[in-house]
Structure 1
Amino acid sequence: MTFFATLAGLLVLLYLGVPMFAAMFLLSLGVLWLTEGAVTLLGELVFGKLDSYLLVAVPLFMLMAHFMVRGRVVDDLFHTAHMMLRRVRGGLGIATVAACTVFAAISGSSVATALTIGKVAIPQMLRYGYSRKGAFGVVAGGGTLGILIPPSAPMILYAYVTEASVGALFAAGVVPGLMMATMFSLWCLLTERGGGVDPATGRAVELPPPATWGELFASLRRSIWALTLPPFVLGGIYFGVFTPTEAAGTGALWALLLALVVYRQMRLADLWEGVNEATRTAAMLFMIIVGASLYGYMLTKLGAPQELSHLIATAGLGRTGFLLCMMVLLFLLGLILETFSIILLTTPVILPVLDAMAIDKVWYGILLTLNLEMALISPPVALNIVVIKAITGAPLGEVGWAVVPYLLMLATGIGLLMAFPGIALWLPGVLGY
Structure 2
Amino acid sequence: MNSELVVALLFLSLGFLFIIGQWTAFALAAVGILVIMVTKGWLGLLGLSSVVWNNSNSYILISIPMFLLMGEVILRSGSSKNFYTGIVKMTHRLPGGLLHANIVACAIFSAVSGSSVATAASVGTVAIPELKKAGYQHSAIYGSLAAGGTLGILIPPSIIMVLYAALVEESVGKMFIAGIIPGLMLSLIFMLYIAVKVYRDPSIAPHMAKAEKMSSELASSSLSSALWDVVPIVSLLVVVLGGIYSGLTTPTEASAVGAAGSMLLAAGYRKLNWEVFRDSVMATVKTTCMVAMIIIGAQILSMALIFSGLSREISEWIVGLGLSKWEFFAILVVLYIILGCFVDGISMIYMTLPVLLPVIKVFGFDLIWLGVIITILIELGQITPPVGLNLFTIHGISGGAKFSEVVSGSVPYVFLMVIAIVLLTIWPEIATWLPETMRGK
Shorter-chain TM-score range:
over 0.9
Distance, in Å, in 1 between the alignment partners of 2:192 and 2:36 is: 52
TM-superposed CA distance for 1:4, in Å, is 7.1
- How far apart are 1:212 and its partner, in Å? 11
> Equivalent of 2:13, from 5, 9, 28?
9
Q: Do the aligned residues in 2 keep the contact of 1:70 with 1:259 (CA within 8 Å)?
A: no
1:111-164 Cα offsets, whole Å, 9 max, x none, are 001001111112222222210111110000100000000000000011111111
Q: Is the 8 A contact 2:382 2:391 kept in 1?
A: yes
Distance 2:96 2:388 in 1: 26
The 5-angstrom pairing of residues 102-121 of structure 1 reads 102-121=108-127
Q: Distance in 2 between matches of 1:198 and 1:64?
A: 33
Query: How does 1:149-298 map onto structure 2 within 5 Å?
Result: 149-192=155-198, 205-206=211-212, 215-260=222-267, 262-298=268-304
Number of the residue aligned with 1:376: 382
- The structure-2 alpha-carbon separation of the partners of 1:172 and 1:396, relative to structure 1 and needing over 3 Å to count, comes to same
Residues 86-107 of structure 1: CA distance to partner in whole angstroms, max 9, x if unpaired?
2222121111111111101110
| Kept in 2: contact 1:169–1:362 (CA 8 A) | yes
- Report if the CA contact (8 A) 1:195-1:205 is conserved: no
| Offset of residue 7 of structure 1 | 3.5
Deviations 1:1-34 (A, max 9, x none): 6667624431211112221111111111112112
1:106 aligned counterpart, secondary structure: coil
Q: 1:307 aligns with which of 309, 313, 331?
A: 313
Question: Which residue of 328, 339, 349 maps to 1:343?
Answer: 349
Distance 1:127 1:284 in 2: 37
Which residue number in structure 1 is paired with residue 410 of structure 2? 403
Give the superposed CA RMSD: 2.2
The correspondence for 2:436, drawn from 425, 429, 432, is 429
Aligned length: 427
Does the aligned pair in 2 maintain the 1:196–1:205 contact within 8 Å?
no
Whether the 8 Å CA contact 2:236–2:258 is kept in 1: the answer is yes
Query: How far apart, in 1, do the equivalents of 2:320 and 2:48 lie?
Result: 35
* Deviating more after overlay: 367-376 vs 128-137: 128-137
- Matched with 1:128 is 134
1:58 to 64, 71, 81: 64
Q: Which runs of 5+ in 2 are unaligned?
A: none
Amino acid at match of 1:26: A
Please report how far the alpha carbon of residue 322 of structure 1 lies from its aligned counterpart in structure 2 after TM superposition: 1.0
In structure 1, C-alpha distance between the alignment counterparts of 2:37 and 2:9, rounded to whole Å:
17
Task: Name 2:367's counterpart in structure 1.
Answer: 361
Determine the structure 1 residue equivalent to 2:36: 32
Which residue in 2 is equivalent to 1:331? 337
Conserved in 1, the CA contact under 8 Å of 2:319 and 2:359? no
Counterpart of 1:20 (choices 21, 24, 34) is 24
**C-alpha distance in 2, partners of 1:398/1:124?**
18
Tell me the secondary structure at the aligned position of residue 109 of structure 2: helix
Identity of aligned residues (%): 36
User: Cα 1:312–1:195, aligned 2, differ >3 Å: closer, same or farther?
Assistant: closer
| Aligned residues of 1:130 and 1:192 also touching (Cα < 8 A) | no
1:307, distance to aligned residue in structure 2 (A): 2.0
Q: Deviations over 1:177-235 (max 9, x none)?
A: 00110011111112237975999xxxx745979x9997111221233222211111011
SS of the equivalent of 2:179 reads helix
Counterpart CA distance in 1 for 2:228 and 2:283 is 30
Deviation by residue 1:250-305 (Cα, 9 ceiling, x = unmatched): 11011011102x10123211110100010011011111111111100001112233
| Shift >4 Å, 4+ stretches | 1-5, 193-199, 204-209, 211-214
Distance 1:212 1:31, change over 3 A: closer
Separation (CA, whole Å) in 2 of partners of 1:355 and 1:198: 47
Q: Show structure 1 runs of 5+ residues with no match.
A: none
Kept after mapping to 1: 8 A contact 2:247/2:438? no
